[in-house]
Chains A and B, each alone.
Chain A
Amino acid sequence: MDTDSVLSAFLDDEAFDPADLARVLADPGGRALLLDLVALRTLVRDEPVTTPVRGPARVSRSKWIAVGFLAASILFGAGAAWLLPPLLRQRSSAGDEVPPTPTHVVTFETGVAAP
């Protein structure tokens, strides 16, 4: 077995003798090798980043429906605010009229049957 293959076992989270690792890392060449292997791992695992091409931002159909509903609500509210006061005024002025005169009066008395 290569003595410095302990570095690979260390990098790969596999079993190794710590004394072997200590021996390899005691040497500057061993430490440099470890750094190079870490960098190599970065190179091999790095995938070219491909960002999906996005078109201009689009508003979804549900958002359009929500916006339409909000606009309709505002219009309805404005229309109601415009039309209701005259109607209420009309109704309150109608309330001022004298009630009709009763044609007959029905009274109830205890023990007497209704006609």
Chain B
Amino acid sequence: MANNADAEALFAAHQPGLLRYLRRAVGHADAARDLTQDVFVRVAGAGAVPPTEDERRAWIFRIARNLAIDHHRRHDVRRAAHAGARAAADSPATQDTSLLVNEALAAIDALDRDVFLLREAGGLSYGEIAAACDLTVAAVRSRIHRARLALREHLRGPIVAVLTRK
């Protein structure tokens, strides 16, 4: 089991990136906070902590990704119903950009999304993502780019707004 000092040090080092990643991965700040806590409960209860920093990051984000996948499995039905109701109620003008980003992320391939978010929100290197997702580095690079191209199509309006804002 990781001792308390180890678990606290890991928490301090990785909590911001994990929270950012989980917030985008599950699309909800409260759920992301809960899942971040769950990650560290698992870290504290783990039999052994990987020896190097790169391996620890990959290991922690693998735990986070698995928790996010479980969360999606549990909440898919409710989320679909919620999205349908919201689409009926809101006009595009009232939807906030963050919501649009979450919806675009939900629309792309799940593994592409995970790989992209581990890089963009979690800050992992391609090598760390490859270790966390059991992929090759070349596959990570290809999937990240594919995710970006797909998101570019979904978010044309907000992207133009970013590039033309004063």
Contact = CB atoms under 8 A, between A and B. Distances in A.
Given A43-B155, A44-B24, A14 B126 contact: yes
A47 interface: yes
Nearest to A37: B148
A44 B100 CA distance: 10
Interface of A is mostly: helix
B97 A43 contact: yes
Given A1-B138, A12-B144, A39-B162, 5 more contacts: A4-B145, A8-B141, A14-B126, A39-B159, A40-B151
B126 to A, nearest CB: 5
B121 interface: yes
A46 B119 CA distance: 15
A39 B152 CA distance: 9
A44 B97 CA distance: 9
B57 interface: no
Contacts of A70: none
A36 B159 contact: yes
Interface residues of B, number: 27
Contacts of A41: 120
Contact of A45 (B120, B126, B152, B159): B120
Interface of B is mostly: helix
A45 B122 CA distance: 10
B164 to A, nearest CB: 10
Interface string A1-29: 11011011100101000000000000000
A10 to B, nearest CB: 11
Contacts of A47: 20, 23, 98
A9 B97 CA distance: 26
Interface in B145-166: 145-146, 148, 151-152, 155, 158-159, 162-163
B126 A43 contact: no
Interface in A43-78: 43-48
B96 interface: yes
Interface string B111-130: 00000010111000110000
Interface in B99-115: 101
Contacts of A8: 141, 144-145, 148
